[in-house]
Structure 1
Amino acid sequence: MSSYMSLTIYLAELATTIISKLGLPGIFFLMTLESALIPIPSEAIMVFAGFLVSKGEINFLDAVLAGTMGNYAGSAILYFLGKKYGAPMLLRYGKYIFISKKHIEEAEKFFQKNGKLAVFTGRMLPAVRTVISLPAGIAKMDFKTFTIYTILGSIPWNMALTYIGIVLGQNWHLILQYSTLIDSAAIIALIVLIAYFYISKKHEVNLFSSQNSQRAIYDKSGSESHDK
């Protein structure tokens, strides 16, 4: 077992202990750390929260809200760090929290390519979701817009993980074995969603252009008839 996996399992166990003792505040606290680049797996946090929901100890929506607000708090910290210090800080210290130069470059490219939507979609992508707030801060993205997109992007991910925890029940810990599979499924689902919106938007544009062309032809023919 690699040192990374050993640390992940240790942090996952620590997370469950904290949530068991603190409940919703524990979820908020841990998700804040996760979004601030402390390598605590959100899969363990929110799936264990789902397990507690299945036992009736906490409410589903409360768990999702606590996780989402934690995501936002941690992301806001990274946003302001990126805005003030830029990428050099993360390049220098990222290695201590398993964030490589490649992760940073992927997040920056993703943000540059997708702009504001990168903050929304990036919250649902492995590796990218934990660092996407930094390029947003470096680019000095409007903070109100950043807030909206971060919260909206965090909700689906947290709802999905919490629901998985409800379904797995006592076997919630299996999530650690299949986290890579879940990340892959999230990427595929996101690609399908983006493709759907792109095709729908393109169809709307084509329909609008077609209607305008027909209107122009009608107006022209009407004008010619009037001249005669």
Structure 2
Amino acid sequence: MAITEILTSLVQIITSIISNLGYGGIFFLMILESALIPIPSEVIMPFSGYLVSVGKLGSVGVVLAGSFGNLVGSIATYYLGLRVGRAAIIKYGKYVLFKRKHLEYTERLFEKYGEKIAFIGRLLPGVRTYISLPAGIGLTGIVKFAVYTFAGSLIWNALLTYAGIELGINWKHIDKYSGYLYTTAIVSTIAIILWILYNTRRGNKSKTTTKI
């Protein structure tokens, strides 16, 4: 079977699950997407956005279902890395198309950016599916990991859902706008980080003034 036929079949399966199960289908598929199963969120969320545009689903429900699915799948993968360990992941990862280079790449990201890569990684192609493993292997704090994962997932899923709403029946053409989506995601992330830093410093200054 040609790759195009496989991809077409995968898209049909994804759209069928969401059409029949609604939010539950989105939640289930996004668990898999975050648990080393190569199911593209770029299909799940835009199609769900299309269903929002025709009145079959609600945008808030879609984004939350996808984001909580990401959280559950990511935590499961986190504990897999924690319990199984690096050597076993490298040995058996090939059975879910997970290669040594994927692990080494995400490990380098953790070394460079620390725990925050769990947030940033949700916005990066080729990273979001695998970022949870090195987090577990490296004993990243589970609470921070969960918060960063959910926050990053919310941004990415909201963008994909919005794109699906705007594209409507043409949601399959989402790939044409991938560059715009990634740029928007990065800009949004930077804006949020700056806002948090600003409010944190403002709060610290207020405390200092109060003490004086």
TM-score for both structures, normalised by structure 1? 0.78
Unaligned 5+ segments in structure 1 are 206-228
1:9-158 equivalent positions in 2, closer than 5 A: 9-158=8-157
Residues 157 and 92 of structure 1: CA distance in aligned 2, closer, same or farther (over 3 Å): same
**Does structure 2 conserve the Cα–Cα contact (< 8 Å) formed by 1:124 and 1:186?**
no
User: How far 1:8 sits from its partner (Å)?
Assistant: 3.4
Larger Rg: 1
Residues 193 and 105 of structure 1: CA distance in aligned 2, closer, same or farther (over 3 Å): farther
Residues 160 and 87 of structure 1: CA distance in aligned 2, closer, same or farther (over 3 Å): same
CA distance in 2, matches of 1:141, 1:99: 21
CA distance in 2, matches of 1:39, 1:9: 14
- Give per-residue Cα distances to partners, 1:147-201, cap 9 Å, x unaligned: 11110010010000000100111111222x43xx61x445545655677758x97
User: How far 1:118 sits from its partner (Å)?
Assistant: 0.6
What is aligned with 1:170? 169
Residues 67 and 143 of structure 1: CA distance in aligned 2, closer, same or farther (over 3 Å): same
**Does structure 2 conserve the Cα–Cα contact (< 8 Å) formed by 1:8 and 1:40?**
no
CA distance in 2, matches of 1:142, 1:124: 20
Unaligned 5+ segments in structure 2 are 202-212
Q: Percent identity?
A: 46
CA distance in 2, matches of 1:143, 1:85: 16
**Does structure 2 conserve the Cα–Cα contact (< 8 Å) formed by 1:28 and 1:67?**
yes
For these two proteins, the number of residue pairs brought into alignment is 198
User: How far 1:97 sits from its partner (Å)?
Assistant: 2.7
User: How far 1:111 sits from its partner (Å)?
Assistant: 1.1
**Does structure 1 conserve the Cα–Cα contact (< 8 Å) formed by 2:159 and 2:185?**
no
Which ranges of 4 or more aligned residues in structure 1 deviate by more than 3 Å?
5-9, 184-198
**Does structure 2 conserve the Cα–Cα contact (< 8 Å) formed by 1:16 and 1:48?**
yes
CA distance in 1, matches of 2:190, 2:156: 19
RMSD in angstroms over aligned alpha carbons? 2.6
CA distance in 2, matches of 1:77, 1:51: 29
SS at match of 1:135: helix
CA distance in 2, matches of 1:109, 1:158: 25
CA distance in 2, matches of 1:119, 1:33: 17
CA distance in 2, matches of 1:169, 1:193: 23
SS at match of 1:141: coil
